[in-house]
Amino acid sequence: MKYKLPIFCTALFLCGAICAPSFADRGAFDFERWDNVLNDVRTKASAQKISKSVIDETLKNPHFVPGIVKSDKNQTEFTLTLEQYLDRTVNADRIKQGHAKKSEYPTLLHRVEQKYQVPGNVILAFWGMESNYGKVKSRHQLVDAFLTLIYEGRREEFFSKQLLALMKIADKNKLAINNIYGSWAGAMGHFQFIPTTLAQYGVDGNNDGSIDIINSIGDAMYSAANYLNKLGWNKDEKIVRRVVVPADFDRTMLSGDTKKSVADWAKMGVTNPDGSPLPRTDLIAGLVTDTKELAKRDLHQPYKTNEESDADVAPAPVISAYLTYPNFYRIKKWNNSSWYAIAIAELSEKLK
């Protein structure tokens, strides 16, 4: 639900709707602050040469949306294991849909790859992860979402930049700004770009003179590929490689932060899962595994022997991990989650 907040709101509406129990910690709605937010947006937009028509349209019928503030305050910290995360994201249905999209858009994917040197299967993997190939529909009017989050104040500067970027995009591309919808935090379109990212990397993929990543799959794919290209994507390199490391391996080196050449990792006992040696290369990589899950397993199944005991102990098992190449870290600039980057790697392999 969202509330329209013009100056003529009645006291009954204010007490019955705005002062809902979930906002008791903030007290009554601050009309003066709301007016200041709107005036500040108008002033900044005018200073940045955004057209009066877009400014007027943006501020014509502003709404405060309590549910968005609730979402911002109550973001859930997911505690899925890596295995659980991959089961959810790289599932049979998503792989099947990805192959269907590959068959539906072969020419577009080829053109994107030729121009930006980002393989079609990688583009498909991002599309599948971000919006389930466009099936996930955003429901929040972005103008209202940004105004609400600016008012809420926790990240006022960030969301002010997003709203102004959205206004410039609407102005430049002749888009009706109040018809642009996205997530509560402002991500939009097939690849869930926020406005500042779209402003920097957006591309008119279908050559109609406008960049519209919500309604044009061509614009969306070209923009995503352009972003990855600017991040330095190397189409000739893998993203990750499944490996195993010795059970007594230094666990502090398994977060992906420690970088060494593949040759150096091999010298430390890292091998392919079947025990065969890694490729001979000086390419720099990290190592990533689910260290939290590994720690839980250690609590119940300690690997070290009791030095005071003479009992025979079975050999300690190896630890499954991923060797993470430069493309892995480029993905993390898109989404700073190692689990997400591994899922992109796994899904893209399935979509070759």
For residue 275, count other CB atoms closer than 10 A to its CB. Answer: 8
Q: What is the pTM of this model?
A: 0.86
Alpha-carbon distance of 75 to 102, in angstroms, equals 34
Angle between helices 142-152 and 31-47 (to 10 degrees): 120
Q: What confidence tens digit (pLDDT) does each residue in 99-135 have?
A: 999 999 999 999 999 999 999 999 999 999 999 999 9
Q: How far is CA 166 from CA 58, 70, 190, in A?
A: 10, 23, 16
* Structural contact between residues 128 and 347, judged by C-beta atoms closer than 8 angstroms: yes
Return the DSSP state at 251. G
Could you report the per-residue pLDDT of 6-48, keeping only the tens digit for each?
433 333 333 333 333 333 245 688 899 999 999 999 999 999 9
